[in-house]
Amino acid sequence: RKENIIFTGASGVGKSYLAQAIGHQGCMMEYKTIYTNTARLFKKLKLSKVDGTYLKELGKLIKADLLILDDFGLQSFDNHARETLMDIIDDRYNKASTIISSQIPVSAWYDIIGEGTIADAILDRIVNSSHRIDLKGESLRKGALKNE
């Protein structure tokens, strides 16, 4: 249905797990799905501008039925990351589904993205069109360590 999801919550509460589970289900239903760490994606796309493959790489992200951006906002955005995120979100808006997982509350995303006008445009497209799920509780990793 081209709907988006934002998972937020502390480290270890299951954001990535849920995003990956939904992505796995999407794959099982033959939806083209891409899962990526957000910071690594921006580094890869920055390098792709240098070698001339940026539009090709961007095209892959835009064509995916489901794009999962994990660990969103752990690093502040530079100009390249802001522009890249705007390209991705704008081209996918109302055309495909995006899942974002972040330890950072949505209320702090404006400052992390930076540059007011672009941050406004990105957040308007992401936040206002998404199901927002804030996960609470203890880290699931703590329980895993006890059982070992």
pLDDT per residue, tens digit, the chain (148 aa), is 888 999 999 988 899 999 999 999 999 999 999 999 999 999 999 999 999 999 999 999 999 999 999 999 988 889 999 999 999 999 998 899 999 999 999 889 888 898 888 888 888 888 887 899 999 988 776 755 554 4
Tokens of 41: 């994606």
Tokens representing 85?
Answer: 């995120």
Name 7's bridge partners: 101, 133
* Domain 4-106+124-146 classification at class level: alpha beta
Give the model's pLDDT for residue 140.
72
Residue among 87, 98, 84 at smallest CA distance from 130: 98
Q: How many CB atoms lie within 10 A of CB 139?
A: 14
| pLDDT of amino acid 114 | 85
| Spatial contact of 114 and 82, defined as CB atoms under 8 Å apart | yes
pLDDT score of 18: 95
Give the sheet arrangement for strand 33-37, strand by strand.
Answer: 33-37, 66-70, 97-102, 4-9, 130-135
d(CA 136, CA 6): 14
Q: What DSSP letter does each residue of 118-147 carry, written as one string? A: HHHHHHHHHHTTEEEEEE-SS-HHHHHHHT
Identify the pLDDT of residue 144.
54
Domains of the chain by residue range: 4-106+124-146
According to the model, what pLDDT value does residue 8 have? Answer: 94
Q: State the Cα–Cα distance between residues 145 and 142, nearest whole angstrom.
A: 5
Give the pLDDT confidence score for residue 143 in this predicted structure.
57
pLDDT of residue 58: 93
Contact between residue 122 and residue 89 where contact means Cβ atoms under 8 Å apart: yes
